[in-house]
Amino acid sequence: MSVMPAPARGLLGDTAARDYSEKLRRFNAFAAPELREAIASLGLEPGMRVLDAGCGTGEALAWLGDEVGAMGTVVGMDLALAHVVAASHAGDALQADLSAPPFMGEAFDAIWSVNVVNHLRSPLDGIRTLAGLLRPGGRMALGQSSFLPDMCFAWDARLERVVNEAVRAYYRDKYAVDERGLSAVRANVGLLREAGFQHVTAHTFAIDRISPVDADAERYIAETLFRDSWGARLAPYLGADDYEALMDLCDPASPRFALARPDFHFLQTFTLVTGRTPV
C-alpha cells in the first residue's frame, strides 16, 4: 500500500520531512558578519530568554547566546526534523510547527526569526501566534533576505533581469503562487503593526562581496544560487541564447565563470524589522 506524503504546511512546500540543511548552512556561513551585526543591533541583555523561530541549522543559536550570556536562554524551533537535528549540535532546538508552538505564553523576552514568515500561508496569524510568546515589552525581530533583487551580474543588467523573471515563473509553476501571493516577503513592517506591535523599525544591511570572493561566498553563490536555485530548472523559462550565456557564467570550469571575473560584485540585502509588544 502506498503512503501519501504529508501535506505541505507552508506556502513553499515546507513539511516536517523537508530538508534543505546544506542551503541554510551555506547562507549562514556566507552572511555571518551581517547576521551577527543584525543580532548585535537588537540590544539583547545578559539573562534574557530568546526564541529562534525557524532556527534552521542553528548557527544563530550560538550568536544569540553570545548576547544573552551564560545566565540567558536561547531555544530554537523548526518544522523540519532534519534542521532540528542539525541545530541540536549548536544549542537547544526542538521540532514544532510555528502555528502551535509548545511554549507557555509570555515565555520569552525576544524572538528572532529569519526568512520564515514569508513561507507561512498566513504570515499575520503566524506573527500573532509568536507575539503571544513574548512578555509585555518583548521584542520581535523579523529578518528577510532580498527585499531588493540580488545583483549577480553587475556588467549585464538585462540578463540579470530575465533570470529573475525566470525564477519567479519557476516558483509560480512549482508552488502555484504568483508575485502577489508572495507579497509577505516585503510586508514585515505592515504585518508587525497590524499584529499590534509598537515602536516598529526597519534597517537594511548590504551584503557586498567582490572578487576575489572567499570560500564561504563562493560556496553560497556558486552552489546555492547558480547550481541549486538556477541551473537546469530555468531552461524552460529562458531563451536559448540567454540560457547558454547564464550557464557559461555559472560554470566554474568555464573561462567566463562569473566569480572569476575581476568586475564581479555580488550585492544582496538583509532587512531586519523589529517591534515591541505593548507594555
For 52-61, the pLDDT digits (tens) are 999 999 999 9
pLDDT at 19 over 90: yes
Residue that wins the pLDDT comparison between 233 and 11: 233
- Average pLDDT value for the chain: 93
Global pTM reads 0.92
pLDDT band at 10 (very low <50, low <70, confident <90, very high): low
pLDDT band at 175 (very low <50, low <70, confident <90, very high): confident
**The pLDDT value given to residue 11:** 59
**The pLDDT value given to residue 183:** 60
Q: Which range is least confidently modeled, 51-55, 165-169, 256-260? A: 165-169
**The pLDDT value given to residue 176:** 78
Is CATH 3.90.1300.10 the right assignment for the domain spanning 21-149+177-210+265-276? Answer: no
**The pLDDT value given to residue 3:** 34
Average pLDDT rounded to a whole number, residues 211-218:
97
Average pLDDT rounded to a whole number, residues 208-212:
98
User: Would you list the domain boundaries of the chain?
Assistant: 21-149+177-210+265-276
Average pLDDT rounded to a whole number, residues 102-121:
94
**The pLDDT value given to residue 66:** 97
pLDDT band at 1 (very low <50, low <70, confident <90, very high): very low
pLDDT at 91 over 50: yes
pLDDT band at 6 (very low <50, low <70, confident <90, very high): very low
SS3 sequence of the chain: CCCCCCCCCCCCCCCCCCCCHHHHHHHHHHCHHHHHHHHHCCCCCCCCEEEEECCCCCHHHHHHHHHHCCCCEEEEEECCHHHHHHHCCCCEEEECCCCCCCCCCCCEEEEEEECCHHHCCCHHHHHHHHHCCEEEEEEEEEEEECCCCCECCCCCHHHHHHHHHHHHHHHHHHHCCCCHHHHHHHCHHHHHHHCCCEEEEEEEEEEEEECCCCHHHHHHHHHHHHHHHHHHHHHHHCCHHHHHHHHHHHCCCCCCCHHHCCCCEEEEEEEEEEEECCC
Average pLDDT rounded to a whole number, residues 189-203:
97
Average pLDDT rounded to a whole number, residues 238-248:
97
pLDDT at 97 over 80: yes
